[in-house]
Amino acid sequence: MEIKFIGTGSGKTSLKRFHSSLLFLSEGYHLLVDSGDGISRALLSQNVPYNSINGILISHLHPDHFSGLSALIIQMKLTQRTNILDIFIHESLVEEVKDFIYHSYIFNERTHFKINYIPLVYDKTYIVDKNFSFIAKQNTHLDTYKAYGRAKEISFSCSSFLFTLNSIKVHYTGDIGAAEDIKLFKDINTDILISEISHIDIQDVLSASKFLNIKKLILTHISDENEQMILNINNIQSENRNTEIISAYDGFSIYV
């Protein structure tokens, strides 16, 4: 099973990296995690055919994780897609996503494929394919927004995910808000941690990996400004002897 990094950039648009997105390729199912601005171009640049994607899992609605969705669906239509597209999104955001698609003038009658919305509930296991499942948990990434605007009317759901691939456990933080979010799945023995490093201090990521006894730590959501710090990875490596630390780049893959 392959995990391909389609984008590894932060929320800042960059000429070096696309916004953060992962593609899980199991034998019978290809799951794209997040579809931010520019996702269609990111997939094109990595020779991933749009219609090889069976489903899209969305962590939250920040534009670097979500706003490319309707553009990607249009590309699927333009490339004659016929197979069903699953969209996994927290139950509190389903209607917003449907509206966004609808208001992008994507109507069922005009596409030759069905969009199947799968409303997510936290802490429930979703089986995607044989030997491929995930669970989602709420993190604190959007908590600070709760004081603003029409906060009571909208959902601040933001998910971190634990994927099980064969028997390997992979925790993808998505965007998080605090060091404690890295320990959301602490009760489950995690092998691989894929962590963002834009909203969290690298030292917190390292100490959490040590605490969780992570074998492989992969850093993503890297801004151009953060790149230099990541380049000092060799110094970081020596402090966490039991953890292999990798700085991801667009097109990077791991096999589990």
Task: List the x/- string, 166-205, binding to Zn ion by CB under 5 A.
Answer: ---------x------------------------------
- What does DSSP assign to residue 77? H
Q: How far is the CB of 5 from Zn ion (least distance, A)?
A: 14
Q: How far is CA 199 from CA 190, 220, 243, 244, 250, in A?
A: 21, 11, 21, 22, 20
Compute the distance between CA of residue 55 and CA of residue 97 in angstroms, rounded to an integer: 14
Q: What are phi and psi of 237, to 5 degrees?
A: -50, -45
Is 90 among the residues that bind Zn ion (CB under 5 A)? no
| Residue closer to Zn ion, measured from CB, 56 or 76 | 56
Q: How far is the CB of 105 from Zn ion (least distance, A)?
A: 26
Residues in the chain: 256
Site for Zn ion in 1-30 (CB under 5 A): 11
| Residue closer to Zn ion, measured from CB, 49 or 63 | 63
Q: How far is the CB of 61 from Zn ion (least distance, A)?
A: 8
Q: Considering only residues 37, 64, 181, 250, which one is a binding residue for Zn ion as defined by CB under 5 A? A: 64
Q: Which residues contact 9 (CB under 8 A, 6 or more apart)?
A: 16, 17, 18, 19, 20, 64, 221, 222, 223, 250
Q: How far is the CB of 245 from Zn ion (least distance, A)?
A: 21
Amino acid found at 31? L
Provide the binding-site residues for Zn ion, judged by CB under 5 A.
11, 62, 64, 175
